[in-house]
Amino acid sequence: MPTPFGALYVPNITPDDETGIGQWTSDEFYRMMHTGVSRDGSLLYPAMPYPQYTQVTRSDSDAIYAYLMSIPPVKQKNREHELRFPYNNRDLLIGWRTLYFKEGEYQPNPKQSAEWNRGAYLVKGLGHCAMCHTAVNALGGSSESKAFEGGMIPNQNWYAPSLTSNREAGLGDWKIQEIADLLQAGISHRGTVYGPMAEVTFNSLQYLSDDDAKAMAVYLKALPQKDNSPPPTSQARLVAPETMELGSKVYAAQCVMCHGAEGKGQTPEYPPLAGNRSITMETPVNPIRMVLNGGYPPGTRKNPRPHGMPPFSHILNDNEVAAVVTYIRVAWGNSGTPVNAKQVNDLRTLLPE
């Protein structure tokens, strides 16, 4: 697992007695989930999301433990982490924990419905959504007050949008079913998941029960929206006419067959680009990367054969990518801002060939 501090090697958690967690008791497993302290007493790096898992109940922790103890043991020694000085000193974690770690199981809010509380428990605990959707500070910490306000994911060059801003991924105006579809199926009538979020759906959220998906949707929709700025308006006037012309030409040649002349897509397979905030957010990192890399929504139980988008990095140069991303950010009343060729080039050079 790459981190800004060096490489972490994720340990063996099969029940092998020697190299895995075969000798752990359920008490020790719960202590690790709840406090981030390993069996031998060492402090874990918060790349293991114990700051979120601390909210998980003892009975859910025991269920995970029982499952892990039932899988075939694998004999494979853990690899030493390769962290740079001073991060290789675990004592640093003592200070980090004082600043950022709050131990405690989820406490239901009696003023809210059972469904909302179930959703909050899943989003804050097992879902560990805050791990990405909260800006991470230099020490890898994230503060509760900034929870769900969005941030760049270190070392991955994807932006996890704010879940509390209706200019980003705030879900206040989505239908409950649209949110549940996005999380569980990976596609919806409003947008699809891509990048690291596609992995979250693929590895985890597709297996939610329908009731749990709905509970999460109810909680996410009700998250207070912190962004009270006036409704955004089209920024097309900021764009040079020749850029608009190039952008619309590229769009007509390369994009229109799937996303439609009016940017309405063919939902839920081909997401709409008109009125899609995942394109108009302040940072253009995600739409630039989508055009360069293309992508497939995850294959899920509810959408086993997803339709994909081809990569354009070998077809379009930096200018053309900048123009078409600018075009989709401002066309059809979209309120994004223009993108320049350097922003495209910076991301292109970070991508593997």
Please state, in angstroms and rounded to a whole number, the distance separating the CA atoms of residues 154 and 337: 24
Cα–Cα distances (Å) from 126 to 41, 234, 294, in that order, read 23, 39, 30
Provide, rounded to whole angstroms, the least separation between the CB of residue 158 and ligand HEC: 4
Tell whether the torsion through CA atoms of 201, 204, 207 and 212 is positive or negative: negative
Q: Which positions from 314 to 353 touch ligand HEC by CB under 6 A, shown as an x/- string?
A: ----------x---x-------------------------
Q: Which positions from 155 to 194 touch ligand HEC by CB under 6 A, shown as an x/- string?
A: ---x-xx-------x-x----------xx-------xxxx
Go through the chain and tell me how many residues it has: 353
Residues 197-226 that bind ligand HEC (CB under 6 A): 197-198, 200, 205, 216, 220
| Contacts (Cβ under 8 Å, ≥6 apart) of 307 | 258, 269, 270, 297
Instruction: State yes or no: residue 270 binds ligand HEC (CB under 6 A).
Output: yes
Tell which one of 15, 127, 336, 338 touches ligand HEC (CB under 6 A).
Answer: 127
Instruction: State yes or no: residue 71 binds ligand HEC (CB under 6 A).
Output: no
Burial of 193 (C-beta count, 10 Å sphere; 0-12/13-18/19+): buried
Please state, in angstroms and rounded to a whole number, the distance separating the CA atoms of residues 286 and 114: 35
Report how many residues bind ligand HEC under the rule CB under 6 A.
Answer: 52
Nearer to ligand HEC, 93 or 131 (CB): 131
Nearer to ligand HEC, 44 or 258 (CB): 258
Cβ(153)–Cβ(160) under 8 Å? yes
Tell which one of 4, 108, 172, 308 touches ligand HEC (CB under 6 A).
Answer: 308
Please state, in angstroms and rounded to a whole number, the distance separating the CA atoms of residues 202 and 184: 9
Tell which one of 119, 263, 297, 338 touches ligand HEC (CB under 6 A).
Answer: 297
